[in-house]
Amino acid sequence: MNGPTAEGRKHGPGTQGGKRGTTAEGRKLTRSFSWLALLGTLLVIAGIIGLIYTGVATLTSMLLFGWLLLIGGLVGLAHAIESRGTNYFWLGVVVAALNLAAGVVVIRHPEGTAEALTMFAALLFLTGGVFRLVGSVVVRGPQMGWTLLQGAFGLLLGLLVLFDWPHSSLYVLGVFFSLALLFDGLGLIAIGVGGRRIVSMVSEQLEDRPDDRLDAPGPTTDRTPKAPGDGQE
């Protein structure tokens, strides 16, 4: 009785099941990357709207910042209560209380918070620009020109924000927040589209590639078994 041939083993149920499993996994990965691309598109749209309406973006970022402080304070307080009796308890309570108080202040006074944070950002740009300029001149490394350019740009940006303060607080933070959303969205879109292409290429290669183990020649089973006395006189 003949055994299974190589062609039958190649197209057997195990191979078809493996292909179906690979296809299902590829579809799941494709859907995941599609969701990433969709989320990136929404972030890009939000970033463009924020760049158009910078004042609204500034207030929105302040409110989000305040609610994040509140949520962080509540989580920190719950964690401190769970760890009562340890040395961490009072430190956790103090940090949680500060986060809660800062969150309440930011939510109740978003304009004043935006002015304070804008002043802080301007001072950071100024100090960072000065340190880069002085450091590049003193060190004179291989990246001196690039460091000088960064320092000059930071110094100029800090001066522009500081000279237009407090009016600059209406748009500076909103512009930064919108640009962050825009670039994060573009990054997610690139990951989603690139991931879908990679999954599609891998799936096509797996479907076109034969199974090497099934193509290997197996033992011949077409030979008729001989009787125990055959070939003997």
pLDDT at 7: 46
Sign of the four-CA dihedral 66, 176, 184, 186: positive
Region 171-190 average pLDDT: 84
Q: Name which residue leads in pLDDT, 233 or 228.
A: 228
Look up residue 208 and give its two tokens: 């076109």
Region 137-163 average pLDDT: 78
pLDDT at 20: 55
What is d(CA 179, CA 109) in angstroms, rounded to the nearest whole number? 24
pLDDT at 22: 57
Region 180-207 average pLDDT: 80
Q: Name which residue leads in pLDDT, 213 or 64.
A: 64
Q: How confident is the model at residue 16 (pLDDT cuts 50, 70, 90)?
A: low
Within 10 Å of residue 79's Cβ, how many Cβ atoms?
14
13-52 helix and 54-82 helix, angle to the nearest 10 degrees: 120
Which residues are CB-neighbours of 45 under 8 A, at least 6 positions away?
A: 185
Cβ 132 vs Cβ 147: under 8 Å: yes
pLDDT at 8 over 50: no
* pTM for the full predicted model: 0.61
pLDDT in tens, 33-51: 788 888 888 988 888 888 8
Q: Percent of the chain, pLDDT > 70?
A: 76
Look up residue 124 and give its two tokens: 């950071």
What is d(CA 88, CA 219) in angstroms, rounded to the nearest whole number? 71
pLDDT at 3 over 60: no
pLDDT at 215 over 50: no
Region 134-159 average pLDDT: 78
> How is the chain classified by DSSP, letter by letter?
-----HHHHHTSHHHHHHHHHHHHHHHHHHHHHHHHHHHHHHHHHHHHHHHHSHHHHHHHHHHHHHHHHHHHHHHHHHHHHHTTTSTHHHHHHHHHHHHHHHHHHHHH-HHHHHHHHHHHHHHHHHHHHHHHHHHHHHH--TTHHHHHHHHHHHHHHHHHHHHTTTGGGGTHHHHHHHHHHHHHHHHHHHHHHHHHHHHHHHHHHHHHS--HHHHS------SPPPPTTTT--
* Chain centre to alpha carbon of residue 61: 20
pLDDT at 233: 42
